[in-house]
């Protein structure tokens, strides 16, 4: 995702229920103040926080989805929604949802 000049990695997943309900999903994780799109990197970040900072970090799964058989249109909708959501979130909470690189 591109937020102004800042880029954030996200994952896309297409789910289908009974070959009738198509739900494209956009998601990422946050660990502490770091946004991550990969579950392996999430585990490494958790380990890094624990060993270096001697804290158990908070984490979130941020997920946006829509019911739509057209994945490209759904991901465009997600991108537009997130582009409007980010500035609407109070600045002190942005880091929790979008990571420190996008929180300023």
More confident of the two residues 71 and 58: 71
Report the alpha-carbon distance of residue 52 to residue 2 in Å, rounded. Answer: 30
| Percent of the chain predicted with pLDDT > 70 | 93
Contact predicate 98/3, CB 8 Å: yes
Residue 22 has pLDDT above 90, yes or no: yes
- pTM: predicted TM-score of the whole model, two decimal places: 0.85
> Residue 40's pLDDT is what?
92
Task: Annotate the chain with DSSP letters as a single string.
Answer: -EETTEE---EEEEEEETTTEEEEEEEEEEETTEEES-HHHHHHHHHHIIIII-S---EEEEEEE---S-HHHHHHHHHHHHHHHHHHS-HHHHHHHH-GGG--
Q: 94: domain range?
A: 2-102
**β-strand pairing of 59-65 with 21-31:** antiparallel
| Number of domain units in the chain | 1
């Amino acid at each position: 995702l591109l937020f102004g000049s800042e880029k954030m990695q996200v994952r896309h997943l297409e789910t289908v229920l009974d070959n009738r309900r198509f739900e494209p999903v956009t998601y990422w994780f946050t660990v502490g103040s770091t946004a991550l799109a990969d579950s392996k990197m999430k585990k490494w970040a958790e380990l890094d926080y624990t060993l270096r900072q001697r804290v158990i970090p908070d984490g979130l799964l941020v997920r946006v989805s829509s019911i739509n058989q057209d994945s490209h249109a759904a991901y465009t909708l997600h991108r537009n929604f997130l582009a409007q959501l980010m500035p609407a979130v109070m600045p002190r909470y942005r880091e929790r949802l979008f990571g420190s690189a996008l929180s300023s």
